[in-house]
Amino acid sequence: MNNYLAKIPNAVVIDLPEALEGYRTDESHIIGDLPLAVVKPRGPDALRALVRVAKGEGLTLVPRGTGTGKAGGVLPVGASIVVDLSEYPGETKTSPEAMALRAPASAFLRDAKAAASEKGLFYPPDPNSWDQCSFGGSLATNAGGPCACKYGVTRHWVLSVDALMEDGEIHRFGAEIVKNNAGPNIAQLLVGSEGIFGIITSAAVRLIPAPKERVAMLLPVSSWGDLLGLPSRLVGGGLVPNALEFWDPQVLQHLRQFGPEEAKSLPGEALAILEFDDTGCTGEKFLGDLMDLLGPLAEHAQAAKDERQREAVWAVRRQTSTMLKEHFPHKVSEDIAVPRPKIEAFFQGAQGLGLPIVTYGHLGDGNLHVNILGKSRREEMDAHVMSLFRLVLELGGTITGEHGIGLAKREAFLALSDPWQVQAIRAMKKALDPCGVFNVGKII
């Protein structure tokens, strides 16, 4: 063990090369460098020591939750120590009076959501890995999910953040109150920053009363294009679903062929899952208005008969990414987002460019999981990706709706972003982390 590692108190230190290998990967296609060590801090004293070591040895600290991210944001680059927060202490506490929940970064997101639910409250963010990812990781990546089309992403729910900063201390930014206008919101700067400014150790998030009703249905279509205008039609008619997911014809075909047993009988050329949780959504008035907005699509709508059937459909949706990865290990997966009114224009543009893509994902908010399955050379695949990104930006969208930049999209982000924006982020990095302690080499 290196001498500087022995100076870290109250922590588990791992430095055997064979034990470090697993920290070189996440759910992206990227493989990081071998870290010098992995440290699992068990208190603030360990974090203070880590900052001193990083400054003294010229190292960078790479925060890591459970490793479910898809952008390479937790992968080691260069001389680095991975800070595995899985054993960091803290208790998840729910306050019904404040309509808020505080949890440590080490908590699982599923447990934070369950703690809210036990009090009759609801914490909406629900990324595909909600049952596996850490609470801290969901904050650092500004996680989204199917519910984002109605409830927004993680950032919309954060009240305050505790974070380890460059001075080696843990600072609290924000407060558990509804109104707080005391200067720029540093908590919001940390959310989604992928650990380049500091390491989130805990946070307080806003809750709402848990929905008491829910209606879910399958919308099979015989013509794929019939789904594409549905998000704008629903929102324009005053109905905002809590989820509107879809599979295009190719993905649906792959699911039927390779997916779980429940997928083999999925109907339609393409298929959507439509769900509402509004008060009164199971009543005749709401359903009548919905059927009117659906128009011809209502003819083939299939309501989930019970919670078991609903969960079976959602299980298939959540397994889609894994299924595609298993059968197309060399695919390139992107999570672009375009404005709802531009969804049809996106698919027309992609067809015009001849991009070899299949898509599924969050149709309700225009966050589309685009997969390039071709067996082209790496250079050709990269060219396809850049063409995809340029099309998305021309339509007023973004190159990542929920996965983040990390290492996976760093080059594209730097090449396609407004140079002033890049310089502004670099200036903030220099101001908050002048010695380069935190997650150097990511995003910028």
Q: List helix spans (H) across 328-353.
A: 343-353
**Quick check: 152 and 132 in contact, CB under 8 A?**
no
- What's the rounded Cα separation, in Å, for the pair 411 and 151? 31
User: Which band of pLDDT confidence, cut at 50, 70 and 90, is reported for residue 376?
Assistant: low
pLDDT tens digit sequence for 417-432: 999 999 999 999 999 9
Average pLDDT, the chain: 94
- What's the rounded Cα separation, in Å, for the pair 409 and 392? 14
Task: Write down how long the chain is.
Answer: 444
Average pLDDT over residues 60-64: 98
**Quick check: 142 and 191 in contact, CB under 8 A?**
yes
Task: Return the C-alpha torsion angle 109, 215, 360, 73, nearest 10.
Answer: -10
**Residue range(s) of every CATH 3.30.70.2740 domain in the chain:** 328-403
- What's the rounded Cα separation, in Å, for the pair 135 and 258? 32
pLDDT tens digit sequence for 343-373: 999 999 999 999 889 999 999 999 999 998 8
Confidence check: pLDDT of 61 > 90: yes
Range 211-316 has CATH code 1.10.3720.10: no
**Other CB atoms within 10 Å distance of the CB of residue 82:** 24
pLDDT of the residue at 433: 98
- What's the rounded Cα separation, in Å, for the pair 76 and 72? 9
pLDDT tens digit sequence for 100-150: 999 999 999 999 999 999 999 999 999 999 999 999 999 999 999 999 999
- Residue 325 burial (10 A CB sphere; 0-12, 13-18, 19+): middle
pLDDT of the residue at 259: 86
Q: Which fold has domain 1-210+415-444?
A: 3.30.465
pLDDT tens digit sequence for 286-342: 999 999 999 999 988 988 867 888 888 888 898 898 888 888 888 888 999 999 999
Q: Which fold has domain 328-403?
A: Alpha-Beta Plaits (3.30.70)
**Residue range(s) of every CATH 3.30.70.2190 domain in the chain:** 211-316
Total-model pTM: 0.94
**Residue range(s) of every CATH 3.30.465.10 domain in the chain:** 1-210+415-444
